[in-house]
Structure 1
Amino acid sequence: MKTILVPGGAGYIGSHTVLDLIKKGFNPIIVDDFSNSSRKVISILEELSGKEITFYELDVKNKEGLRRIFNENKIDAVINFAGFKAVGESVEKPLMYYENNLFGMITLLEVMKEFDVKNIVFSSSATVYGIPEKMPLVEGDPMGATNPYGRTKLMIENILVDLAASDDTWNIIALRYFNPLGAHESGKIGEDPNGIPNNLAPYITQVAVGKLEKLHIFGNDYDTPDGTCIRDFVHVNDLAAGHSAAINYLFSGNIGFEAINLGSEKGYSVLEILKNFEKAVGKTIPYVIDGRRAGDIAVSYADASKAKKLLNWETKYTIEDMCRDSWNWQKKNPNGFED
Structure 2
Amino acid sequence: MPVTVQGGADKLHVLVTGGAGYIGSHTVLELLQSGYKVSVIDNLSNSTEESLRRVSQLTSSKVHFYEGDLLDCAFLESVFARQPIWAVIHFAALKSAPESVHKPLDYYRVNVAGTINLLTTMSRHGVHRLVFSSTAAVYGTPEMNTTLIPETHATSPANPYGRSKLMVENIIRDMCEAHKPLAGVILRYFNPVGAHESGMIGEDPKGGPGNLMPFVLQVMTGERSHLEITGVDWPTCDGSGVRDFIHVVDLARGHVEALRHANVLSCEGGAWDIINMGTGCGTSVLQMVNAMEKSTGLSIPVRNAPRRDGDVAEVVADPARAHEVLRWKAIMNLEDMCRDAWTWRLQNPQGYDTAQSSSEDPSKRLIRRSSNKNKNLHA
**Which of the five TM-score ranges fits, normalised by the shorter chain?**
over 0.9
Do residues 161 (structure 1) and 173 (structure 2) align?
yes
- TM (norm. structure 2) is 0.87
Report the Cα offset of residue 281 of structure 1.
Answer: 2.3
* Secondary structure in 2 matching 1:249: helix
Deviations 1:213-237 (A, max 9, x none): 2111012222222111111010000
Q: CA RMSD in A?
A: 1.1
| 2:346 paired residue number | 331
Whole-angstrom CA distance in 1 between matches of 2:352 and 2:208: 15
Identity of aligned residues (%): 44
Who is 1:72 aligned against?
82
**Which residue of structure 1 lines up, in the alignment, with residue 94 of structure 2?**
84
**1:149 corresponding residue in structure 2:** 161
Moved more, 85-94 or 262-271: 85-94
- Aligned twin of 2:138: 128
User: 2:316 matched to 1:316?
Assistant: no
Q: More displaced, 96-105 or 239-248?
A: 96-105
Q: Is the 8 A contact 2:97 2:310 kept in 1?
A: no
Partner of 2:183: 171
Partners of 2:192 and 2:89 in 1: CA distance: 17
Task: Identify the match of residue 48 of structure 2 among 33, 38, 49.
Answer: 38
Give the structure 1 partner of residue 223 of structure 2: 211
CA distance in 1 between partners of 2:317 and 2:346 (Å): 30
Partner AA of 1:325 in structure 2: D
Letter in 2 for 1:297: V
Aligned to 1:279: 294
When structure 1 is superposed on structure 2, of 6-15 and 226-235 the one drifting more is 226-235
1:168 deviates by 2.9
Contact 1:204–1:215, Cα closer than 8 Å, also in 2: yes
Q: Note the C-alpha offset of 1:164.
A: 1.5
What CA deviation, in whole Å up to 9, does each residue of 1:80-115 have, x standing for no partner? 000111112211211111111111100000000000
Pick aligned residue for 1:107 from 117, 135, 138: 117
Q: Give the distance between the partners of 1:196 and 1:64, measured in 2 at CA.
A: 31
Cα deviations by residue, 1:260-285 (Å, 9 ceiling, x for unpaired): 00000000011110011112221111
The number of residues matched between the two structures is 339
Contact 1:206 1:334 in 2 (8 A): no
Match of 2:317 in 1: 302
- Report the more deviating stretch, 37-46 or 242-251: 37-46
* 1:40 aligned partner, one-letter code: E
Structure 1 CA distance, aligned partners of 2:49 and 2:272? Answer: 33
Instruction: Give how far 1:130 is off.
Output: 1.1
Deviation, 1:21, is: 0.5
- For 2:283, give the aligned amino acid: Y
Deviation string, structure 1 residues 5-39 (Cα, Å, up to 9, x no partner): 00100000000000000111111111111111012
For structure 2, the 5+ residue unaligned runs are 1-10, 355-379
Give the alignment partner of residue 11 of structure 1, picking from 6, 15, 21: 21
Paired AA for residue 304 in structure 1: P
For 1:277, give the aligned amino acid.
M
Q: Please state whether the residue corresponding to 1:251 is helix, strand or coil.
A: helix
Alpha-carbon distance in structure 2 between the residues aligned to 1:297 and 1:39: 33
Give the equivalent residue in structure 2 for 1:2: 12
Query: Within 5 Å, which residues of 2 pair with 1:166-315?
Result: 166-252=178-264, 253-254=267-268, 255-315=270-330
Deviations 1:111-148 (A, max 9, x none): 00000102100000000001110221100111011111
Q: How does 1:18-57 map to 2 (within 5 A)?
A: 18-57=28-67
Distance 2:94 2:320 in 1: 29
Which sections of structure 1, spanning at least 5 residues, go unmatched?
A: none
CA contact (8 A) 2:97 2:159 kept: yes
CA deviations over 1:268-323 (Å, ceiling 9, x no partner): 01111001111222111111011222322221101111111111000010100001
Stretch moving more, 322-331 or 9-18: 322-331
Taking the aligned partners of 1:2 and 1:225, their CA distance within structure 2 comes to 47
Structure 2: how far apart are the matches of 1:225 and 1:129? 21
Tell me the alpha carbon deviations over residues 67-90 of structure 1, each in whole angstroms, 9 at most, x when there is no partner. 111111110000000011111221
Q: Distance in 1 between matches of 2:306 and 2:210?
A: 16
In 1, the alpha carbon distance for the partners of 2:328 and 2:285 equals 26
SS of the counterpart of 2:137?
helix
> Following the alignment from structure 1 to structure 2, what is the Cα–Cα distance between the partners of residues 164 and 176?
18
The one-letter amino acid of 2:220's match is A
Q: Distance in 1 between matches of 2:204 and 2:102?
A: 21
Q: Comparing 22-31 with 288-297, which one deviates more in the overlay? A: 288-297
SS at match of 1:337: helix
Structure label with greater radius of gyration: 2
Cα deviation, 1:241-260, whole Å, max 9, x if unaligned, reads 00000011111233511010
Q: Which has the higher contact order (CA 8 A, sep 6+)?
A: 2
Aligned equivalent of 2:369 = none
